[in-house]
């Protein structure tokens, strides 16, 4: 026979357990819900591409501020765990692991150099944490078909294929690719070698150099001696401006086609001077490009915060962050494994149009968004910027 005291005791115990369970599931009144941590792993110091790294961090900081000012994601504030990969493979992989294990990041964003990103992918795969790339161009990044890896932005074989109609339109017969010895530079060179086969009357040479070199005189002399019609420069380090300045100094007469928008950076004209006149640069940005309401919000907020307009790669990074936000909203969770499952199916308004991932297994178009146009522009006088550049050709 059960006593009244026994019944009371059980009820008291059950009530206590229920109350304790509820307190672990719901924040107390006046106490914020747990924060969502997103890892930002970027080249914030040399020898990495620190110029781009700082732009990456500005974009990330602004996104977090706007999200938190609007109340967070499902009422949860967002914070960044920032790590510098220094543009080095081993440092980048270590920073990736720290962002996951120390900071408990729900997703990793801001990765940059393809060589570093490829190493970071292995860490993301091992921990089953989503990694979102945006301007790491190596095909390998999505071609490996890792469930944890996503890219909103271009990739080498697609870019190389879109270079071909421009080469044809310009009537080039001999082209040289000057490529840094990274997954970015050599990856493009390999892809372009394949793509240019569509133009059998065009010859192609590839001249490789060490990414960190500070003197390209010997390389540019070799290039000039071959008398090409065009030189396509694929690098992100100091060799960007050096290739132009030193190329003209050794007598290079060819068109110089840069990769990518770096003639618009502040140090371009002060470094190259008159040698920069006539330089052609491909870009994914043009005033004719349609920008969504999301894109306009980003542009206006960025100008207000930093006094300048964002570069196109920052648009893609903004979309990366919004992809993570969409996955968190869809699942109601910031658990990395759940985001890995949700991200392939997210759809939302991006900065320049709808964003969704292609999920074609066995191809580079796996967890890949790639809806962009390429514009080829020329700088015709010292000091020209994007608004003064002459539009030569558009590939859609």
Which residues have CB under 8 Å from 386's CB, separation 6+?
264, 283, 285, 377
Residue 145 shares a structural domain with residue 187:
no
If one counts every other C-beta atom within 10 angstroms of the C-beta of residue 139, the result is 21
Residue 184 shares a structural domain with residue 110:
no
Reported as a single tens digit per residue, the pLDDT across 182-227 is 888 999 999 999 999 999 999 999 999 998 898 999 999 999 999 9
For the CA atoms of 172, 174, 180, 182, the dihedral, rounded to the nearest 10 degrees, stands at 90
C-alpha–C-alpha distance, residues 329 and 345, integer Å: 12
C-alpha–C-alpha distance, residues 316 and 102, integer Å: 27
What percent of the chain lies above the pLDDT cut of 90? 80
Domain assignment present for 299: yes
Residue 135 shares a structural domain with residue 185:
no
Residue 270 shares a structural domain with residue 304:
no
pLDDT at residue 25 above 90?
no
By DSSP bridging, strand 354-356 and strand 78-84 are unpaired
Helix (H, G, I), strand (E, B) or coil at 105: coil
pLDDT at 26: 32
Residue 183 shares a structural domain with residue 218:
yes
Residue 260 shares a structural domain with residue 383:
yes
Residue 251 shares a structural domain with residue 380:
yes
Instruction: Please give the order of strands across the beta sheet that includes 174-180.
Output: 203-209, 174-180, 230-234, 255-259, 280-283, 374-378, 390-395
Q: At residue 368, what are phi and psi to the nearest 5 degrees?
A: -130, 130
pLDDT at 127: 98
Domain assignment present for 108: yes
Helix (H, G, I), strand (E, B) or coil at 230: strand
Residue 145 shares a structural domain with residue 294:
yes
Domain assignment present for 26: no
User: Six-digit token pair at 252?
Assistant: 């290079």
Helix (H, G, I), strand (E, B) or coil at 392: strand
- Alpha-carbon distances, residue 144 vs 97, 122, 131, 148, 190 (angstroms): 20, 10, 13, 11, 17
Reported as a single tens digit per residue, the pLDDT across 325-379 is 999 999 999 999 999 999 999 999 999 999 999 999 999 999 999 888 899 999 9
- Identify whether the C-beta of residue 152 lies closer than 8 Å to the C-beta of residue 134: yes
Residue 122 shares a structural domain with residue 50:
yes
Confidence of residue 169 (pLDDT cuts 50, 70, 90): very high
Domain assignment present for 368: no
- Residue 328's domain is classified under what CATH number? 3.40.50.2300
C-alpha–C-alpha distance, residues 41 and 264, integer Å: 25
Cis status of the peptide bond prior to 315, with omega within 30 of 0: no
Domain assignment present for 309: yes
CB neighbour burial string for 18-51, b if at least 16 within 10 angstroms, e if fewer: eeeeeeeeeeeeeeeeeebbbbbbbbbeeebbbb
Domain assignment present for 346: yes
Which is more confidently placed, 259 or 344? 344
Residue 175 shares a structural domain with residue 278:
yes
Domain assignment present for 274: yes
Residue 260 shares a structural domain with residue 312:
no
C-alpha–C-alpha distance, residues 120 and 122, integer Å: 5
Q: Read off the pTM.
A: 0.83
Which residues have CB under 8 Å from 337's CB, separation 6+?
128
Confidence of residue 3 (pLDDT cuts 50, 70, 90): very low
C-alpha–C-alpha distance, residues 363 and 359, integer Å: 9
**Number of independent structural domains in the chain:** 2
- Identify whether the C-beta of residue 365 lies closer than 8 Å to the C-beta of residue 379: no
- Identify whether the C-beta of residue 78 lies closer than 8 Å to the C-beta of residue 148: no
Domain assignment present for 22: no
Q: Which helix (H) or strand (E) holds 120?
A: helix 114-127
Helix (H, G, I), strand (E, B) or coil at 332: coil
Show the domain range for 242.
157-283+374-395
Residue 214 shares a structural domain with residue 68:
no
Confidence of residue 12 (pLDDT cuts 50, 70, 90): very low
Q: Compute the mean pLDDT over every residue in the chain, rounded to the nearest whole number.
A: 90
Reported as a single tens digit per residue, the pLDDT across 238-258 is 889 999 999 999 999 999 999
Q: What mean pLDDT is predicted for residues 97-104?
A: 98
C-alpha–C-alpha distance, residues 79 and 66, integer Å: 12
């Amino acid at each position: 026979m059960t006593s009244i005291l026994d019944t009371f005791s059980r009820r008291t115990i059950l009530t206590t357990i229920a109350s304790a369970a509820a307190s672990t599931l719901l924040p107390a009144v006046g106490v914020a819900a747990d924060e969502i941590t997103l890892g930002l792993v970027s080249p914030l110091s040399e020898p990495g591409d620190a110029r781009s790294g700082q732009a990456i961090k500005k974009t990330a900081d602004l996104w977090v501020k706007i999200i938190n000012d609007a109340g967070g994601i499902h009422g949860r504030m967002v914070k960044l765990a920032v790590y510098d990969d220094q543009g080095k493979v081993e440092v980048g992989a270590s920073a990736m692991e720290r962002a996951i294990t120390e900071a408990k990041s729900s997703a990793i964003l801001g990765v940059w150099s393809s060589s570093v990103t490829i190493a970071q992918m292995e860490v993301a795969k091992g921990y089953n944490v989503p990694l979102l790339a945006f301007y790491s161009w190596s095909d390998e990044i999505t071609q490996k078909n890792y469930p944890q890896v996503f890219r909103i932005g271009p990739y080498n074989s697609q870019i190389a294929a879109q270079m071909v109609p421009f080469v044809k339109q310009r009537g080039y017969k001999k082209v040289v690719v000057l490529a840094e010895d990274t997954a970015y530079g050599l990856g493009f060179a390999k892809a372009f070698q394949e793509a240019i086969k569509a133009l059998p009357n065009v010859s192609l040479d590839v001249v490789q150099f060490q990414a960190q070199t500070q003197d390209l005189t010997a390389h540019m002399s070799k290039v000039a001696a071959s008398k090409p019609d065009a030189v396509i420069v694929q690098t992100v380090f100091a060799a960007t401006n050096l290739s132009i300045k030193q190329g003209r100094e050794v007598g290079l007469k060819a068109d110089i086609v840069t990769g990518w928008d770096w003639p618009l950076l502040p140090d371009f004209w002060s470094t190259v001077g008159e040698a920069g006149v006539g330089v052609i640069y491909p870009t994914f940005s043009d005033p004719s490009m349609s920008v969504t309401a999301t894109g306009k919000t980003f542009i206006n907020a960025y100008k207000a915060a930093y006094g300048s307009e964002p570069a196109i790669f920052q648009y893609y990074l903004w979309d990366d962050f919004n992809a993570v936000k969409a996955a968190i909203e869809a699942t109601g969770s910031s658990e990395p494994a759940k985001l890995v499952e949700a991200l392939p199916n997210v759809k939302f308004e991006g900065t320049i149009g709808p964003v969704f991932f292609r999920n074609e297994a066995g191809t580079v178009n796996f967890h890949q968004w790639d809806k962009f146009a390429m514009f080829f522009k020329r700088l015709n006088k010292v000091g020209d910027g994007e608004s003064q550049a002459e539009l030569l050709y558009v590939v859609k």
